[in-house]
Structure 1
Amino acid sequence: MRNLSSKFAKKKILIYGFAKSGLATLKFLKKIKSEIYCWDDNSFVRKSIKKKYLLNFKKKLTNDFIDFIVVSPGINIRHCYLKNFLAKNKTKIITDLDIFYNFNKNNQIISVTGTNGKSTTCKLLEAVFKKAGHKTHLVGNIGEPILSLKKLNKKAVIIVEVSSYQLEYTQHFRSNHAVILNISPDHMERHKTMTNYINAKIKILKFQSSKDHSYLNLNNKFTKKIIGNYKKKQFFSKLYKVDKHKVKKIFKKIKNKYLLSQNNLENISFVLRIASNYRIRLNVVLQALNKFKGLPHRQERLSLNDEIICINDSKATNFESSSQSLKSYQNIFWIVGGLPKKGDKFF
């Protein structure tokens, strides 16, 4: 494995994809005096890249031209402008997650992935850890690029929401605590098969050691299969099998209406298990949960009057997420739109 933290300085690094994470990566690499090149397939986005950083195709893209390629999550390396170059240089592809880890190995990192519930679970964890007095940062797929963090306290807890798109290309990223909430068919237009999708998700576990912790859903058929891989010694972290049915007594103590849906029972079961491993008292956890205000467009309650409650769940963009939401209510008038995804079965 390359020692990235020592090799980045004065090396030629291509940033492929210049949205939020790409821009944050540029700012970070400038500080360590890397030789930076940037590219985005979108001509409009390329106009925002300063000329001195823009990849010049008059220079031949030979295999030894670039030392590292930082690929943004939105780039599909099999269907992009530089696909041939990337195919020949796969071993050089890394992500912003890899860069962050190699410069912040002493921080506690909690990473969360899954098909549904990632953002809510991450926000719940953030609320609980802050209530318990931990210096806490929430970054990643939820909106704040991980490399935008500055001057981290060594005792800070970093909560990272990671998607399959981010994990697919990661080569080194290691979490002290890694969570796979659930898996159901999604993003098939990118991954093509469930096997590819699952393989991307389980990379969150791949680089963990025996000192680390992993959390898998005992109530999900796909994550139950991953649990079987621990018996084959494919992963080395300490495994916690999370069962939402075992926390129902605690769940009844939650008075926050936002959290009373069945899908939040699953999210909270993971929060409770992680909080316990950090020795955060249950009463502190409950205080944080009961004050939690929720996230926009995720089970957002809009009371119209005493008889009608409107639930804005427009962030539920796949069948499984919508299905779990609908199971939490009765007498439903469902307003739905958009295009079906491969694997959706509504009827």
Structure 2
Amino acid sequence: MAGGPRFAPFAGERVALVGLGRAGLPAALRLRDWGAEVTVWDDRAEARAAAEAAGLALRDVSSGPFPADALLLSPGIPHAMPSPHPAAERARDAGVPILCDVEYLFRAVRAAGSGAAFVGITGTNGKSTTTALVHHLLRGAGRVAEVGGNLGPAALGLKMLGSDGVYTLEMSSYMLERIATVVFNLGVMLNLSPDHLDRHGSMAGYAAAKARIFAGQRPEDLAVLGQDDPMTAAMAPAVTARLVPISGRRRVAGGIWAEGMSLRDEAGEIADLRAAPALPGAHNAQNAAAAAAVAFGLGLTRAQVAAGLAGFPGLAHRQEGVGSLGGVAFVNDSKATNVDSAARALGSYDRVVWIAGGMGKEGGIEGLAPFFPRIARAFLIGRDAAAFAQTLAEAGVPHEVAGTLEAAVPAAAAAALGGAAPVVLLSPAAASFDQFTGFDARGDRFRALVRAMIAGAAGSPGGKAA
């Protein structure tokens, strides 16, 4: 309110912030605005220069006595494994908590007296789609809502909401390790498969980090739990909130599930997923079930959920349709940086020309063997193309080492247009950092190449693009 006292929930608190990337700099500025004494550091000179230009105090907290009451550490910087950042070591030696920005958003909202709902969504795969889908459903129903976290805007860049508001936050395992007082009114755990084991040490450590999505929940809260992999389903006994099981494959008593293309609960059909083209495959059926469970928990109607699912536009780089040519659809699933995620995409189509490769995870693509019969031909890129090629050769899958996307896209298009398959699918099953700055840059390049090819075909004599 104009003329009222300044909102300063962190007055008198000293916060050291290390990592001034997408989330770090906005967090430092917001904390300063909210009264905290903030010192910042980044190992990159350009990031320090940007912070100094914003009037923030620079201090390397990697040595000497720790000068703050808390360390806000960028999620990408390890605090324990594989080796801790020196600032984290100093904080740990001083008994100082290591936190993430969601912790401060939660504390600020509650300090303001707001009962805004906090929805936390995690899982190895599907969390971005589910987060965006929940937010889409809420906004479609006219609810006051903000979305961010690991997806999109940083938590401390979101607006303050009143008690009628909803924060939907994608939570990575790195972030969940660094919450202290956050309690999600609605927590969602989708699935679990091997990933980030260098940071968590083992699958048990990874699962323990993910399970923190349910930490501190009360009986009146909601816990939405995937049932399509055993490690996620096994978390049920530790849940203290009202449990809603979900599945994209089979009926689950008391929950929400998909039977074929019908999303259902005990009361009957919620939605026909054939009307939701941006949500193909059983994995997206589970994402839809999770979003519906959250929506019902927040008071949305069945009609609102059905309409929202049908109107969901999908997310970039997650089975994103980027165009078609001569009856062949081109699909950008660059976000598939591991085998489990690529399996979900491959399982969504009967026959594909596959573009894959990059920096493969442990075990390569051997885990995709059940889907090899769906691959008409593969075109491989990146650092581990030769290793992927060896696996495909042993399985008798036709393939070529293209090396780059620039070579793979026209070759894959030619194969598909020649009758090999109706879909060209970029679903790399590998990280992108050998050739790109991230999966998004890889997907952007694929999209640009496809659209340039379609435009060229449309502009050629007799050319036709659909």
> TM-score with structure 1 length normalisation?
0.90
Aligned to 1:23: 25
Equivalent in 223, 242, 248 of residue 246 of structure 2: 242
Structure 2 matches for 1:27-176, cutoff 5 A? Answer: 27-50=29-52, 53-55=57-59, 61-63=64-66, 65-78=67-80, 79-105=84-110, 106-176=115-185
> TM-score with structure 2 length normalisation?
0.68
Q: Distance in 2 between matches of 1:29 and 1:253?
A: 43
Aligned amino acid, residue 296 of structure 1: A
Q: Which deviates the most, 170-179 or 253-262?
A: 253-262
Residue 179 of structure 2 corresponds to residue 195 of structure 1: no
Q: Which deviates the most, 239-248 or 334-343?
A: 239-248
Aligned amino acid, residue 282 of structure 2: Q
Q: Which deviates the most, 86-95 or 161-170?
A: 86-95
Per the TM alignment, residue 281 of structure 1 is displaced from its structure 2 partner at its CA by: 1.7
Unaligned segments of structure 1, at least 5 residues: none
Q: Which deviates the most, 110-119 or 6-15?
A: 6-15
Residue 21 of structure 2 corresponds to residue 14 of structure 1: no
Unaligned segments of structure 2, at least 5 residues: 1-6, 251-256, 264-270, 370-466
Percent identity, please.
28
Highest relative contact order (Cα 8 Å, sep 6+), 1 or 2?
A: 1
Task: Tell me if structure 2 keeps the 8 A contact 1:218–1:242.
Answer: yes
Q: Distance in 2 between matches of 1:56 and 1:239?
A: 45
Aligned to 1:208: 217
Aligned amino acid, residue 259 of structure 1: L
Per the TM alignment, residue 336 of structure 1 is displaced from its structure 2 partner at its CA by: 0.5
Q: Which deviates the most, 77-86 or 108-117?
A: 77-86
Aligned amino acid, residue 71 of structure 1: L
Aligned to 2:457: none
Task: Tell me if structure 1 keeps the 8 A contact 2:99–2:179.
Answer: yes
Q: Distance in 1 between matches of 2:95 and 2:245?
A: 34
Aligned amino acid, residue 308 of structure 2: A
Q: Which deviates the most, 6-15 or 202-211?
A: 6-15
Q: Distance in 2 between matches of 1:13 and 1:29?
A: 8
Q: Distance in 2 between matches of 1:154 and 1:204?
A: 21
Per the TM alignment, residue 45 of structure 1 is displaced from its structure 2 partner at its CA by: 2.0
Task: Tell me if structure 2 keeps the 8 A contact 1:21–1:145.
Answer: yes
SS, match of residue 174 in structure 1? coil
Per the TM alignment, residue 30 of structure 1 is displaced from its structure 2 partner at its CA by: 1.3
Q: Distance in 2 between matches of 1:341 and 1:166?
A: 22
Q: Distance in 1 between matches of 2:16 and 2:231?
A: 36
Task: Tell me if structure 1 keeps the 8 A contact 2:88–2:98.
Answer: no
Q: Check 1:74–1:311 CA distance in 2 against 1; reply closer, same or farther (3 A cut).
A: same
Per the TM alignment, residue 242 of structure 1 is displaced from its structure 2 partner at its CA by: 1.5
Q: Distance in 1 between matches of 2:332 and 2:245?
A: 31
Structure 2 matches for 1:328-339, cutoff 5 A? Answer: 328-339=348-359
Q: Which deviates the most, 145-154 or 14-23?
A: 145-154
1:49-103 alpha-carbon deviations (Å, 9 max, x no partner)? 217510156x97324x311111121110133232430331354222211111112
Aligned to 1:263: 283
Q: Distance in 1 between matches of 2:307 and 2:211?
A: 32
Q: Distance in 2 between matches of 1:297 and 1:261?
A: 16
Q: Which deviates the most, 145-154 or 117-126?
A: 145-154
Aligned amino acid, residue 183 of structure 1: L
CA RMSD of aligned residues (A): 2.2
Aligned amino acid, residue 240 of structure 1: V
Q: Check 1:11–1:37 CA distance in 2 against 1; reply closer, same or farther (3 A cut).
A: same
Task: Tell me if structure 2 keeps the 8 A contact 1:95–1:169.
Answer: yes
Aligned amino acid, residue 161 of structure 1: E
Per the TM alignment, residue 206 of structure 1 is displaced from its structure 2 partner at its CA by: 1.3
SS, match of residue 244 in structure 2? strand
Aligned amino acid, residue 297 of structure 1: H
Q: Distance in 1 between matches of 2:35 and 2:92?
A: 27
Equivalent in 178, 187, 209 of residue 187 of structure 2: 178
SS, match of residue 224 in structure 2? strand
Aligned to 2:449: none
Q: Distance in 2 between matches of 1:269 and 1:32?
A: 38
Task: Tell me if structure 2 keeps the 8 A contact 1:254–1:286.
Answer: no
Q: Check 1:95–1:303 CA distance in 2 against 1; reply closer, same or farther (3 A cut).
A: closer
Q: What is the number of equivalent residue pairs in this alignment?
A: 336
Task: Tell me if structure 2 keeps the 8 A contact 1:188–1:342.
Answer: no
Q: Distance in 2 between matches of 1:119 and 1:332?
A: 24
Q: Distance in 1 between matches of 2:289 and 2:197?
A: 28
SS, match of residue 28 in structure 2? helix
Task: Tell me if structure 2 keeps the 8 A contact 1:96–1:147.
Answer: yes
Aligned amino acid, residue 58 of structure 2: L
Per the TM alignment, residue 276 of structure 1 is displaced from its structure 2 partner at its CA by: 2.2
More strand by share: 2
